[in-house]
Amino acid sequence: MANWLKNTIKNASSDCVVFGFEDFSLKILLYKRGINPCKGAWALPGGFLKKGELFEEAARRILKATTGVTDIYLEEVAVFDQLDRFPPWRVFTVGYFALVKPGKYKITATGLDSTEVRWFKFNELPELAWDHKQIVDTALHKLRSLVLHKPIGLELMPNKFTLPQLQTLYEVVLDRPLDRRNFRKKMIQMNLLKKLDERDPNNKTNAAYLYKFDKRVYNKLITKGFILE
Amino acid sequence: MANWLKNTIKNASSDCVVFGFEDFSLKILLYKRGINPCKGAWALPGGFLKKGELFEEAARRILKATTGVTDIYLEEVAVFDQLDRFPPWRVFTVGYFALVKPGKYKITATGLDSTEVRWFKFNELPELAWDHKQIVDTALHKLRSLVLHKPIGLELMPNKFTLPQLQTLYEVVLDRPLDRRNFRKKMIQMNLLKKLDERDPNNKTNAAYLYKFDKRVYNKLITKGFILE
DNA sequence: ACAAAAGTGTTCAGCGTACACCCATGC
DNA sequence: GCATGGGTGTACGCTGAACACTTTTGT
């Protein structure tokens, strides 16, 4: 412990709510703690800041260690600083939410004292350590309001995807069904998508067309925003 | 200095961007530092956390000291943690933005080592200490996006106000003119306002009617949000 | 009577919303 | 041939946007 503390700021940490989209559901990355405190409990990937490291840098370091992804979408959620959130002593944490693309990452446990790292459906989470449930809830809330005003699929979908897939993402995040035709119309009229000549090879019956995001438009909408309904 | 540190967390602070609306302009509260570091420079009201104090509590303590207001609208803006932001040593700060109502506050310098506290027009700010300009810019950005989705006048306008006054607030925040008739229509059809039988006693020619906010509707719109244009 | 500010109503276009049918494929 | 999922177009209503004239009062 003494050695561990040497290069560490012991009252400041970053925690990441990592969202991924797989098997038609929205998932969150958790790890099982291998050491005390809270050994055996599931927790968000996170950790103390090193000296000379920014909160966001710490978050990226942790994400690289857990997912292997270096260029990742990251946004600050909020500060969490309840006095008793980390009982051994007082620690402020900055919560981030991150979006990662399936296929682009591979989960490891490098850099975390952990016995296991895996995805959970966002609505079937286990009990979480400390105040991590609260961080997840805040991040989910932010994701839901984000999705209505900015495009988000680029960070979560594979490079080529079908419109029904994208719609499912939106339905899962918003937790309600959307009208197929209106969803298509909206996406297409924003010029957000480029239709490819390929079709979904996975699907059996009537294969859906694949699309890519038009990154130019995508980035413009990220800064400018839009209104989905 | 030794005594000052005893009850203080020396690497964590809160800083407040206090917005007020007066003389038809949006203003920000600054104080002139009375001691080093940065003696003589203008800065945002802020300070180190005391032990056992939350970031938001520190912000409220500082606001009470500077404005005398206890129930104040306060929202987290972001964490600012550049390594060199506070040259003597490393300090993270949580930026807040606050909205206060003219007439409800009185400026003091209690609790700040200051020679002067006063309002500046938001677009005529002096040079600011440290990274406070960046905090102001981020807060302004947040205010501008807030105003499009939530009602904000309640915290900034006097209890009774005219529609042209409210419109001016919106125009100043958004930095562009709005159509008088459409603005009225929008505000009225949201049931946000209660028309009074009084007229603006200050105005000379054709006095405008005074309004109050319907707090029930106001609070509902705060949580539910709306879309201004 | 003229200038300054406040109040009011209408028209148009675009978009969000609801909704039904045909097509392709695998079993 | 039937079930499953994908693709497409239309009609209506609301609301955001543009816009001009009248009323009041102080000078």
The pLDDT value recorded for residue B122 is 95
C15 C1' to A229 CA distance, Å: 9
Q: Which CATH class is domain A9-128?
A: alpha beta
The pLDDT value recorded for residue B119 is 92
Q: Mind listing the pLDDT tens digit for each residue in B81-103?
A: 999 999 999 999 999 999 998 77
Own/partner long-range contacts of B187-190 (Cβ < 8 Å, ≥24 apart): B187/B163, B190/B217, B190/B221, B190/B226
Task: Judge if the beta carbon of A191 is closer than 7 A to nucleic acid strand C.
Answer: no
The pLDDT value recorded for residue B70 is 87
CA–CA gap between residue A152 and residue B174 (Å, rounded): 26
CA–CA gap between residue B74 and residue B11 (Å, rounded): 22
pLDDT above 90 (res B125) = yes
pLDDT above 80 (res B4) = no
Q: Mind listing the pLDDT tens digit for each residue in B181-196?
A: 999 999 999 999 999 9
Half-sphere exposure of A117 (CA within 13 A, CB side): 21
Across B21-43, average pLDDT: 90
Least trusted range by pLDDT, from B32-36, B38-42, B109-113, B159-163: B109-113
D15 C1' to B187 CA distance, Å: 13
Q: Mind listing the pLDDT tens digit for each residue in B108-118?
A: 777 667 778 88
CA–CA gap between residue A80 and residue A16 (Å, rounded): 12
Q: Which residue ranges make up each domain of chain A?
A: 9-128, 151-224
Of all nucleotides, the one whose C1′ comes closest to residue A190's CA is C15
CB B111 within 8 Å of CB B65:
yes
Selecting from B9, B11, B79 the residue whose C-beta is nearest the C-beta of A55 gives B79
**What 3-state class would DSSP assign to A189?**
helix
Whether A9 contacts chain B with CB within 8 A: yes
CA–CA gap between residue B71 and residue B55 (Å, rounded): 16
The pLDDT value recorded for residue B206 is 85
> B173-193: b or e for each residue (b if 16 or more CB lie within 10 Å)?
beeeebeeeebbebbeebebb
Which chain B positions have a beta carbon within 8 Å of A83's beta carbon? 52, 54
Give the CATH architecture of domain A151-224. Orthogonal Bundle (1.10)
Residue nearest to nucleotide D17 (CA to C1'): B182
Which chain B positions have a beta carbon within 8 Å of A229's beta carbon? none
CA–CA gap between residue A114 and residue A135 (Å, rounded): 20
The single-letter DSSP state of residue A89 is S
Whether B30 contacts chain A with CB within 8 A: no
Task: Judge if the beta carbon of A209 is closer than 7 A to nucleic acid strand D.
Answer: yes
CA–CA gap between residue B14 and residue B36 (Å, rounded): 18
Residue nearest to nucleotide D25 (CA to C1'): B205
The pLDDT value recorded for residue B141 is 93
Using pLDDT thresholds of 50, 70 and 90, give the confidence band for residue B107: confident
pLDDT mean values, one per 10 residues, chain A (229 residues): 76 96 91 88 95 97 88 95 94 96 75 80 95 98 91 92 95 94 94 92 84 93 83
